Amino acid sequence: MTNAYKIAVLPGDAIGPEIMLQAVRVFSVLQEHRDVSFELIEAPFGAAAYFEHGKAFPQQTKAICDDADAILKGPVGLSHEESQKIPVEEQPERGAILPLRARYNTFANFRPIYLSPDMAHFSPLKKEIISDGIDILLMRGSGGGVYFGSKGRGINSDGKRYVK
């Protein structure tokens, strides 16, 4: 019996679509060698979605993601100059990534860092520190603070402007 999964594929912007082309190849290999099948459903997300649909995280994309077993998201965002063509509330970071994280209650960013001992000589770190290579899993919370928490601005008791 084959296990079947529905995957929402959000290519994103800039190099995102190129990266995602390679990432989805992994699903083909898995299907060939394992008892599993994938339905990959591409959906607009980020700046490209804004320019095409007027929203960085369009309703149709939300519906596809809601119905999926997993979401594969590519990088989003453009150069500063290109981003200025998009209203602030729809710029990819604010209009796509943060709403995606809030909608699916994702709270952490996992970034594996691996450097094999054979490649250690390419690192700027001292040989005696990394002679055995590096194998670290960096976990960064993304559920609050300046990046994801509530925003505000005003004038403090000393008459100075602030942003939080």
User: Cα–Cα distances in Å, from 118 out to 3, 126, 130, 155, 160?
Assistant: 38, 14, 11, 55, 54
Q: What is the pTM for the complete model shown?
A: 0.76
**55 — phi, psi (to 5°)?**
-140, 140
Full pLDDT tens readout for the chain, 164 residues: 579 999 999 999 999 999 999 999 999 999 999 999 999 999 999 999 999 999 999 999 999 999 999 999 999 989 989 989 999 999 998 999 989 998 998 877 788 999 998 888 888 888 888 888 889 999 887 666 555 666 678 899 999 988 77
Give how far the C-alpha of residue 64 lies from the chain's centroid of Cα atoms, to the nearest Å: 17
Residues 6+ positions from 70 with CB-CB distance below 8 Å: 5, 7, 8
Domain regions of the chain by residue span: 3-106
